[in-house]
Amino acid sequence: MMTDQFKIVIVGSGPGGMSAAARAAELGLSHLLLEAAPHLASTIHHFQKGKTVMAEPAVLPLRSAISFGPGSREAILDTWRDELAEYSVNLRLNAAVAAIAGHAGDFQITLLTGECIRAEFVVLAIGIQGNIRKLAVPGEDLPGVQYQLDDPDEFNNETIVVVGGGDAGVENALALSRQNRVILVNRQDEFSNCKEANYEQLMTAVSRGKIEIRVNTLTERVEAYSGGTFKLSYMAQTPEGHEQIDCHRVIARLGAKPPRQLVESFGVHFPNSDSGAVPQLSEQYESNVPGLYIVGALAGYPLIKQAMNQGYEVIEYIQGNPVEPADELLLRMKFACVPDIHSVTEGIALLRANQPLLAPLTTLQLREFMLESTVQVPKRGELIFNRNDYSNSFFSILEGRIAIQTEAPDGEAAVFSLGKGEFFGEMGLLSGRRRSGSATASEDCILVETSRRSMLKLLYSASGVQRKLDEVSLKRVVRSCLDTMLPESELEYLVHDAQSRRYAVGDELFHEGDQADGLYMIRRGSVTVSRQVAGKEIVLAYISAGNYVGEMALVSNMPRSATVRAASPTEVIMLEALRVTEVLSRNTSMRRKVDSRFLEHVRSDEYSLSSESSGLINFLMEEGVGEATDVLLIDYARCIRCNNCETACADVHDGTSRLDREAGATYAQIHVPTSCRHCEHPHCMKDCPPDAIHRSVNGEVFISDNCIGCGNCQDNCPYGVIQMAVKQDYQKRTIWQIILGTQPAKATQVTSGELLKKAVKCDMCKDILGGPVCVRACPTGAALRVSPEAFLGYVK
């Protein structure tokens, strides 16, 4: 079989790949752009119809042979298609890559069809969406067989076979069943992969004969049906034998294959098994396989503009042109405030030399790190952050000294001094809670402040950093939880073989009646303490990060008196029992503190046992209040259902209410409405491409204006409190309009082409004097905003 030979083969026709191919074409290099899908830029192609695509970050200049600016999905895709044609880019659609072998100068790229292509260099720009799984049977590509459902209302009076028992399949089947005959095929015995709510709806639909299901059924083939009204014949193997279903359409929702496995099969290393990990790359985007370059989302750069810049740069690098990266100017501006630093290279070198924590990073990673960091040069005596602030950034000290003033829960103050090469702020970062101390510059300093997001990204992708951070932070956690005045030598002894342990929600740290194995410092998350009373589990208390549990058994030298369970994803440091008792016997001040804590717990447990709070704590934990920092509760015994909370919320937030009073669970007159809880580790922040979700100093999690409307946060929020809303031209009523009962004149509606949906959620009215209006607008005092640690903690 003849094989083609190219200088550069680019895999993936997203923004990165396309930009690389266009640059290669512009330079007249022999190249080939491969795309698995039958169209360009699959991820963007599958955006919702008419969606506005944004060009963040606005400050980053675009450097690419093809153009890009904010606009509708259709306009952008059209432009790209035209421009690729203009450059005569050598593009092959429907060409999925199965394997890449060989080395720089001679790569063999094997397509799924078995065809082999040779290339000197390979640029991998396949993104992170993965390839949509197909049926993998004869007929999988027949017209009428589809792997996507954009608008279920498009079809009616059809017979449709939906394949796939996951959420996507079940949701599609439910939506289609309104006006079609639907047969849902699941290869498994049960629908265990779909959400409870979907499963229930499915079962209702099945019991009412709206949907037929086939379980334990494998697709054999799909054939075009000749004659009759049906277009397709779907053949499957059921437990009862072969079955033929004549239908109009087959919709298969089999999920996507994450690209990591494929990429690893090319020989590319990932630093760890974390799902957020990105492969390690050189400054020139070259992977550990020489000649194999990686750009775009797969390399950890999720934004379109970044990917396009990298596509351009990677071709230059392959050509041996040392182009200045597009972010050079931005980085230079960051270092501008440091007097002795004149170039980015010098700045990066200083960072590498003076912060051992960052030593394992490549220059590319350091540049990326700096792009999302700021350099600060506080003068002596300047405040960096305050105790109880809600900031969660991370600080590295490049020059100077910093004084940290902490205050233990019992009010005892202590001061620590940190110098060059050390770091601070990691406790807030890891716990997601308020700062446990204040930081002040005790000399003129050079600091690098890094955002939570890029720090977490770093921890996921560079395991060396995580290890180094852990070593230092372990002692700090023990100190802050137990006794700030504990001598260094005792601390060393305590943490000698301390273990860091992680628990999922509901996991037990220890069980009532167990022998005491040690003292548990809660570093992140929260736990509930419960006891068996008359065969029933009674929840006694909720304890949050920054505290410890397990001292009762240690102090009293008895088995565990209660069971402790994680209420949210929790990380603890376990100090060994023997070491703790030894240190306690030597340190009277610590002994006194632990003893008083013990007495407090005994008293509070007795109180909780005699009150009826247990069921309520349980209920609130089930509602996810355990991971909240501030939650809106409504006392339904007092709520007159006037919805003034919603009205007021809409009134101060451009006409869209960010809370749904009626939705949500209720227990014993306590109602948890659908409203943001400002989680310790906000799920919404997890995957925000423009990094638009932040936590303010006072703790409010809010979405800033650079939201690109992708909807990831809406999908990621387990509490359904984020909505996508069109920004309206909302006019408040004036006092006279209220008195006279008239409405303001309707503002002119924006034309549909410019409708821009952005994510909106509760920001706790952070910019409004007086605090959350939902609470202030409640005439009967039924609406309350509470922080669970104060609300559910040990009764003082």
Partner 1 sequence: MNNMQGSSLLKYKNYRYLKVSAGMMVLSIVVYLFNEPVGGHPFGGTWLGYTLGVVSTLILLGLMWYGVAKRSITGTPDWSMIAEHEGMAGSHQRPAHGKSSVNKGLRGSGMLQEWLSGHIYLGISLLVLATLHTGFHLGWNVHTLAYVLMMLVIFSGFYGLNAYLNYPRLITLNMGEDTLDDLLLKIAELDELATARALDLSDEVNVLVMESCQETRVGGNLLQQLSGTQRDCPTRFAVQHLMTLGGHYIRDDQRKMLRDLYSLLLRKEKLVLRARTEIMLKARLECWLYLHAPLGIALFSALAAHIISIFFYW
Q: Which residues bind partner 1 (CB under 8 A)?
A: 208, 388, 613, 616, 630, 635-641, 644, 647-648, 651-652, 662, 664-666, 669-671, 698-699, 732-735, 738-739, 766, 768-773, 775-787, 790-792, 795-796
> Which tokens belong to 672?
């948890």
> What span, in angstroms and rounded, lies between the C-alpha atoms of 526 and 514?
21
To partner 1, the closest distance from the beta carbon of 636 in angstroms equals 4
Nearer to partner 1 by Cβ, of 234 and 542: the residue is 542
Give Cβ neighbours of residue 128 (< 8 Å, ≥ 6 apart).
258, 259, 297, 298, 302
Q: 665 - beta bridge partners? A: 672
> What span, in angstroms and rounded, lies between the C-alpha atoms of 221 and 218?
9
Nearer to partner 1 by Cβ, of 16 and 673: the residue is 673
Nearer to partner 1 by Cβ, of 304 and 778: the residue is 778
> Which tokens belong to 494?
């305590």
> What span, in angstroms and rounded, lies between the C-alpha atoms of 528 and 567?
6
> What span, in angstroms and rounded, lies between the C-alpha atoms of 440 and 459?
26
Asked if residue 164 lies in contact with residue 250, where contact means CB atoms within 8 angstroms, the answer is no
To partner 1, the closest distance from the beta carbon of 178 in angstroms equals 15
Cα-based distances in Å from 402 to 336, 411, 415, 426, 440: 22, 22, 10, 14, 6
Nearer to partner 1 by Cβ, of 366 and 775: the residue is 775
R_g of the chain, CA atoms, integer Å: 30
Nearer to partner 1 by Cβ, of 494 and 617: the residue is 617
Nearer to partner 1 by Cβ, of 90 and 530: the residue is 530
To partner 1, the closest distance from the beta carbon of 616 in angstroms equals 6
To partner 1, the closest distance from the beta carbon of 315 in angstroms equals 50
Cα-based distances in Å from 266 to 10, 15, 325, 326, 333: 14, 22, 27, 28, 38
Asked if residue 83 lies in contact with residue 67, where contact means CB atoms within 8 angstroms, the answer is yes
To partner 1, the closest distance from the beta carbon of 677 in angstroms equals 13
Q: Which residues of 504-536 are buried (b: 16+ CB within 10 A; e: fewer)?
A: ebeeebbebeeebbbbbbbbbbbbbbbbeeeee
> What span, in angstroms and rounded, lies between the C-alpha atoms of 433 and 290?
43
To partner 1, the closest distance from the beta carbon of 641 in angstroms equals 7
Nearer to partner 1 by Cβ, of 373 and 526: the residue is 526
Task: Look up residue 297 and give its DSSP letter.
Answer: G
To partner 1, the closest distance from the beta carbon of 637 in angstroms equals 4
> What span, in angstroms and rounded, lies between the C-alpha atoms of 507 and 510?
9
To partner 1, the closest distance from the beta carbon of 699 in angstroms equals 7
To partner 1, the closest distance from the beta carbon of 612 in angstroms equals 9
- Nearest Cα to 251, choosing from 128, 142, 95? 142
Number of other CB atoms surrounding residue 293 within 10 Å: 28
Nearer to partner 1 by Cβ, of 85 and 637: the residue is 637
**How many helices and strands in the chain, by DSSP H and E?**
23, 43
Q: 562 - beta bridge partners? A: none
Nearer to partner 1 by Cβ, of 482 and 625: the residue is 625
To partner 1, the closest distance from the beta carbon of 561 in angstroms equals 22
Asked if residue 478 lies in contact with residue 573, where contact means CB atoms within 8 angstroms, the answer is yes
Only one residue has tokens 């979405």, namely: 703
- Nearest Cα to 279, choosing from 269, 267, 266? 269
Nearer to partner 1 by Cβ, of 656 and 698: the residue is 698
Nearer to partner 1 by Cβ, of 323 and 784: the residue is 784
Q: Based on the number of CB atoms within 10 Å of its own CB, is 751 exposed (0-12), middle (13-18) or buried (19 or more)?
A: exposed
> What span, in angstroms and rounded, lies between the C-alpha atoms of 525 and 626?
8
To partner 1, the closest distance from the beta carbon of 418 in angstroms equals 24
Nearer to partner 1 by Cβ, of 136 and 736: the residue is 736
To partner 1, the closest distance from the beta carbon of 91 in angstroms equals 51
